[in-house]
Amino acid sequence: MNAKETKLPGVLILEPDVFSDERGFFLETWNSKHYENAGIQVPFVQDNVSFSRKGVLRGLHFQYPQSQGKLVQVLSGRVVDVAVDICLGSPAFGQWISEVLSDSNHRQMYIPPGFAHGYCVTSETAVFSYKCTDFYNPATETGIIWNDPDLDIDWPIKQPVLSTKDANYPSLKDLPPDKLPHFQGF
């Protein structure tokens, strides 16, 4: 497995070893020893899968104070995946990265607790999988508006399909400081 650091502290792009032949392919989507060697030393407690159609944008989501780290990947299709550093005091506060995740490149992204996360589907459909370091808690779930002008995220489409909740999140600057995580260092 190849693990690449990004400009955001703690966010990694992972490229699992893929073994292909005329029958198809095999890869490990999780092996605690390999991921610990890459710097991911957290317990995962919940796995989720979502299905979306082309043009759907989910995010930018986060939980606080019950923050979740996520190991995300695409099982079928293609998405542009985005992580935003929202940790107060972080040297990368308000910065974001994006990565194409697909069933053909098999890349994964690890997003530590304290980051907002979202993705936009660019294939006809996509099956998206993610492991979480804490349980989903609707009482601590919130988000940032996908098109926050201060973040200026380069999404692949300009008029995505959004849930009502995602369409009505505030901008990052409009979130009170007590609703944001604090930088703990990595």
Active site residues: 61, 130
ω into 60 cis (within 30 of 0):
yes
Asked if 92 and 100 touch (Cβ cutoff 8 Å), the reply is no
Kindly state the DSSP code that residue 123 receives in the 8-state scheme. S
100 vs 148: CA distance, rounded Å: 21
**Rounded to an integer, what is the distance from CA 77 to the centroid of its chain?**
16
Strands 115-121 and 57-63: antiparallel
Residue 176 burial (CB < 10 Å; 0-12/13-18/19+)?
A: exposed
**Rounded to an integer, what is the distance from CA 167 to the centroid of its chain?**
18
What tokens appear for 59 in the block?
Answer: 């995010």
What tokens appear for 159 in the block?
Answer: 């008029």
C-alpha distances in Å from residue 96, one per residue of 1, 3, 101, 152 = 24, 18, 16, 9
